[in-house]
Structure 1
Amino acid sequence: MVKEVQLRVSLQEEERTDILVLKSAKALKIPKEDISGIKVMRKSIDARNPKIIFNYKVAVYIKEPLPQSSQYTFNYSDVSNAKPIHIIGFGPAGMYAALRCIELGFKPIVLERGKDVQNRRRDLRAINQDHFVNEDSNYCFGEGGAGTYSDGKLYTRSLKRGDVRRIFENLVYHGATDQILVDAHPHIGTNKLPKVVQNIRKTILKYGGEIHFESRVTDFIIKDNRIQAIQLKNGDELTANRVILATGHSARDIFYLLHKKNIALEAKSFAMGVRVEHPQHIIDSIQYHCQGERHDLLPAASYSLVQQVNERGVYSFCMCPGGFIVPAATANGEVVVNGMSPSKRNNEFANSGIVVEINADKDLFKYEAFGVLKGLEYQKDLERLAYTAGGRSQVAPAQRLTDFVEGKLSNDLNPTSYQPGLNTSPMHSLLPKLIGSRLRQGFKAFGEKMKGYYTSEANIIGVESRTSSPVSIPRNSKLEHPEVAGLFPCGEGGGYAGGIISAAMDGERCAEAAAAGL
């Protein structure tokens, strides 16, 4: 017999290894000896009050053994000689599209502009140390996409778009810790993700798929409103009649290419702002109501904040406890910042994007001449501004949080995790009013919600500009572009996802849609 129960465990009780058995026996009113095993299904922390509680959902196995295997199986078989489906981009959407193609009996041929994870590291080092951006291999482009080196947060609200559990189980199948199946806000960690990504690549190759790195797509051959071929930067032309376009939110050249070919695009709302970085112990003390170091059983504390300011949302984005800030530019002459955490989240800093909602229809009237690409051009202008303010390198403009809100230049800055370095800058006057004034009000409100958050010990660092794509690529009910048969816009670049898990689910859906017509 198996019964599910909800348990509440105090911090002191959590120290006991047998506490779940004891509490389950009490809840079910059975002898603890009758319990043959317990499977944790969900775990979360309630730290709203000084007395911290661990909430568990467990399956209690009574006089029967725990199952040893997952309920999910992944039926991969050889597709070396099967019909091909071309996939452009090898981020989460592209990877899961390729895996699903194999399950469905089709051969994925993946074209990735960047390098594999091993060789990609050299280009990341060049950004941090030499301030040089390889426009095809960086924190956004390369094997695994932006997700590989951006923390691996797996939380999603897209519960109706696909089988979320299946996506998680597949990550575990490829080497991720099974803890992601349990945690309420799971993540893998930027130090562990590359190995998972490599294992996914090995599966695709083992079963007959193809993956071509350093293969940048530069054109599509379209005839009679149907895709015929793909052209690569090296001059090669590949015949293709099913193309999943999973290039991510930063592949601006693809947006420009489609626009030049008069293929329909749409401007969409997005968000921009800054990264804020606190010493982790400040966030811990606020969230856990503690003085000094947090308890060993508690992870580095995180937060989620939102405030309406002048009819626009100001909110935290991609919060990284125990993490560090990285340069996420995709071209020289721009500065973009992003955040990530290692699996243990044991760095001394906490950082988060704090961004302002930008309405594409109401806020970009000065950019209307750019049509559907107006948001993209707005992004670029702020990234160039950050580049100039930082000193024309990957050094980022920064300011103490309180100085930013009070409108004065910082004489010096706090220590930071951002390797290229910081340059004190008047962010309060550099950021456009649309963003800057709302951020200042938002930070004040956040300081009221989290006492101690508003502090001179925090830096703000600019700019956080790649929260999502400012352009979407339309598709019909068959997930196909309404004007180009055989082209399936997918994932974050198409405007259909907002993170690793939602992108992976969309990749699977697009693979199924592409396969349906073959």
Structure 2
Amino acid sequence: MKQNFSLQLSPEEAYDSENFRKAVLKKAGLAPDLPNAFARQTRRSIDARGRKVLVNVEAELFINENPGSLLDHLPEYHHVSQQDPILIVGAGPAGLFAALRAIELGVKPIVIERGKDVRARRRDLAAINKEGIVNPDSNYCFGEGGAGTYSDGKLYTRSKKRGDIRRIMEILVAHGATEEILVDAHPHIGTNKLPVLVAKLRETILEHGGEILFDTRVEDLILENDEIKGVITQQGDKIKGLGVILATGHSARDIFQLLDRRKVLIEAKPFALGVRIEHSQTLIDRIQYHCEIDRGPYLPASAYSLVHQTEYKGKQRGVFSFCMCPGGFIVPAATAPGELVVNGMSPSRRDSKFANSGMVVSVELEDLGKYHQFGALSAMHFQAEIEQKAWAAGGKTQTAPAQRMVDFVNRKVSSSLLDTSYQPGLVSVEMREVLPDFIAERMAMAFKAFGQKMKGYFTNDAQLIGVESRTSSPVRIPRIKETFEHPQIKRLYPCGEGAGYAGGIVSAAMDGERCAEMLIAAYCKK
């Protein structure tokens, strides 16, 4: 027998398995020691609006019945080694899920990745953290799994029209993610678990006859009569296929430059730019959970989401938190020497003593001024110049410029900085020397407003660390809405974050699947 329940529980009941079982049996009017009774959660969300934190739970109770798995359905993968190939440029979430969907549909994918596999990639991450050495092909953005591999692994998305979110989640669970991601309202995997999961996705692709080429950078396109036939690598190798899915991520500037040089239609795109804000996790917990000391053993590290509309010189722009990482770390995410970029990540337990979040300002095309001379690459050049200024301000290493929050608002260089999770270290600067005025002034306005929304958030016990500039692609590679194909180049399918059509792991994965479906339906023999 199976019964369904909706409950409001304390954290002790929601996050302790035995307490949870007793709460469900009590709700069902049954004895707490009833044998052959199994309770599980199917949905869980925290409600911290009141003084007492509650957890809303959807639950199932099974009595004298095997509950089975939470997985409803999994794809059936074919062996495709002898099939005609499609090419997928980029092994991030979009590229990997495009490859898996191609195999499911009976087509061979060849995935071309400029970076290394997850294990080899670690050495390059250590080099940028400890020595400030940036490998342009292997870093926090490039390599197997893309930028998502070394991130918080957030899986929440509002992009429900792009595809089947549940399907993506179940594929992730089948490859090693915990079933908790099917339950939590804001699921995440954690940077410590993502590399193993990504390696298992690779194994599935290879086991079924797909190919993955690491350390292989695309340097040119094979174009004939406005149709793409394949790509040319840095070794001069020509790789051909029935079509090309371009899933290179938001930081592949050389690909944007290649498309522009080959006169393939691309467009400048609005994005957002700012800093990382770092507080102690205990402070954020006290604000969000209304606790005086700490959050206790049951509640997870708390997160926040903030947005404020600002007006500066007659123009309205939003300032908003981005990719908040509770219990996390700030990492150096540059993709070339001579630039400084920061990003956030969290382990699965989110047990760092720091909380960090991107705090960014919307950058519209009308804000770019002199950069319009670069045409479709105008926003990219604007982004790159600020990253170069941050690198110079930090001492021309990966040491990041930083400033305490109240000091920033008051235009005061901080006499000292706080402890930080950012391994290469910080140097105290006036962040207005790095950030454009229209961004700095808007952030200063927003910080005061955020202090009103979250009492205690606006404090000199928090610091700005810059710059957070890779929020999304500064370039859009257009495609036809109905077919996903590029409007000018046949058989070319712009995909994922780098093309401007996704904003995270799940939305990129869904976009990858859709691009594979569209290409295969149009050009692969049935």
TM-score by length of 2: 0.95
CA 1:109–1:389: 2 relative to 1, 3 Å = same
- Establish whether residue 489 from structure 1 lines up as the match of residue 494 from structure 2: yes
- Alignment partner, residue 427 of structure 1: 431
- Alignment partner, residue 8 of structure 1: 8
How much has 1:302 moved relative to structure 2? 0.9
Opposite residue 152 of structure 2, the aligned amino acid is D
Q: Secondary structure at the match of 1:48?
A: coil
Q: Secondary structure at the match of 2:503?
A: coil
Match of 2:447 among 419, 425, 443: 443
Q: Secondary structure at the match of 2:328?
A: strand
Q: Secondary structure at the match of 1:172?
A: helix
How much has 1:27 moved relative to structure 2? 4.6
Opposite residue 134 of structure 1, the aligned amino acid is N
How much has 1:365 moved relative to structure 2? 2.3
CA 1:451–1:485: 2 relative to 1, 3 Å = same
How much has 1:64 moved relative to structure 2? 3.2
CA 1:96–1:16: 2 relative to 1, 3 Å = closer
Aligned counterparts of 2:19 and 2:151: Cα–Cα separation in 1: 35
- Contact 2:38/2:62 (CA < 8 Å) preserved in 1? yes
| Superposition pairs of residues 471-482 of structure 1, within 5 angstroms | 471-476=475-480, 477-482=482-487
- Alignment partner, residue 199 of structure 2: 198
How much has 1:484 moved relative to structure 2? 0.6
CA 1:287–1:232: 2 relative to 1, 3 Å = same
Opposite residue 225 of structure 2, the aligned amino acid is D
How much has 1:429 moved relative to structure 2? 4.0
| Superposition pairs of residues 168-183 of structure 1, within 5 angstroms | 168-183=169-184
| 1:35-58 Cα deviation digits (max 9, x unpaired) | 833331111111122211011011
Match of 1:347 among 352, 356, 368: 352
CA 1:403–1:65: 2 relative to 1, 3 Å = same
- Establish whether residue 382 from structure 1 lines up as the match of residue 386 from structure 2: yes
How much has 1:229 moved relative to structure 2? 2.4
How much has 1:348 moved relative to structure 2? 0.9
How much has 1:292 moved relative to structure 2? 1.9
Opposite residue 351 of structure 1, the aligned amino acid is N
- Contact 1:271/1:467 (CA < 8 Å) preserved in 2? yes
- Contact 1:36/1:65 (CA < 8 Å) preserved in 2? no
- Alignment partner, residue 396 of structure 1: 400
- Alignment partner, residue 263 of structure 2: 262
Match of 2:416 among 398, 401, 412: 412
| Superposition pairs of residues 259-298 of structure 1, within 5 angstroms | 259-298=260-299
Aligned counterparts of 1:70 and 1:302: Cα–Cα separation in 2: 28
Opposite residue 326 of structure 1, the aligned amino acid is V
Aligned counterparts of 1:14 and 1:179: Cα–Cα separation in 2: 13
- Contact 1:35/1:60 (CA < 8 Å) preserved in 2? no
Aligned counterparts of 2:15 and 2:227: Cα–Cα separation in 1: 62
Opposite residue 7 of structure 1, the aligned amino acid is L
Aligned counterparts of 1:54 and 1:135: Cα–Cα separation in 2: 44
How much has 1:207 moved relative to structure 2? 0.7
Aligned counterparts of 1:239 and 1:126: Cα–Cα separation in 2: 35
Opposite residue 6 of structure 1, the aligned amino acid is S
For structure 2, the residue ranges without an aligned partner over 5 or more in a row are none
Aligned counterparts of 1:239 and 1:94: Cα–Cα separation in 2: 17
| Superposition pairs of residues 65-144 of structure 1, within 5 angstroms | 65-68=66-69, 70-144=71-145
Identity %: 56
TM-score by length of 1: 0.97
Output the aligned Cα RMSD.
Answer: 1.6
| 1:238-265 Cα deviation digits (max 9, x unpaired) | 1223111000000011111111111111
Aligned residues: 517
Q: Secondary structure at the match of 2:326?
A: strand
How much has 1:95 moved relative to structure 2? 0.5
- Contact 1:101/1:515 (CA < 8 Å) preserved in 2? yes
How much has 1:132 moved relative to structure 2? 1.0
- Contact 2:117/2:144 (CA < 8 Å) preserved in 1? yes
Aligned counterparts of 2:36 and 2:448: Cα–Cα separation in 1: 51
Aligned counterparts of 1:120 and 1:485: Cα–Cα separation in 2: 34
Opposite residue 182 of structure 1, the aligned amino acid is V
CA 1:431–1:54: 2 relative to 1, 3 Å = same
Opposite residue 180 of structure 2, the aligned amino acid is Q
- Alignment partner, residue 468 of structure 2: 464
- Establish whether residue 318 from structure 1 lines up as the match of residue 323 from structure 2: yes
- Contact 2:272/2:471 (CA < 8 Å) preserved in 1? yes
Aligned counterparts of 2:17 and 2:114: Cα–Cα separation in 1: 48
Q: Which moved more, 1:308-317 or 1:16-25?
A: 16-25
Q: Which moved more, 1:1-10 or 1:237-246?
A: 1-10
- Contact 1:270/1:357 (CA < 8 Å) preserved in 2? yes
Opposite residue 429 of structure 2, the aligned amino acid is S
- Alignment partner, residue 52 of structure 1: 53
Q: Which moved more, 1:130-139 or 1:61-70?
A: 61-70
Aligned counterparts of 2:138 and 2:13: Cα–Cα separation in 1: 48
For structure 1, the residue ranges without an aligned partner over 5 or more in a row are none
Aligned counterparts of 1:151 and 1:438: Cα–Cα separation in 2: 27
How much has 1:474 moved relative to structure 2? 0.6
- Alignment partner, residue 515 of structure 1: 520
Aligned counterparts of 1:60 and 1:6: Cα–Cα separation in 2: 11
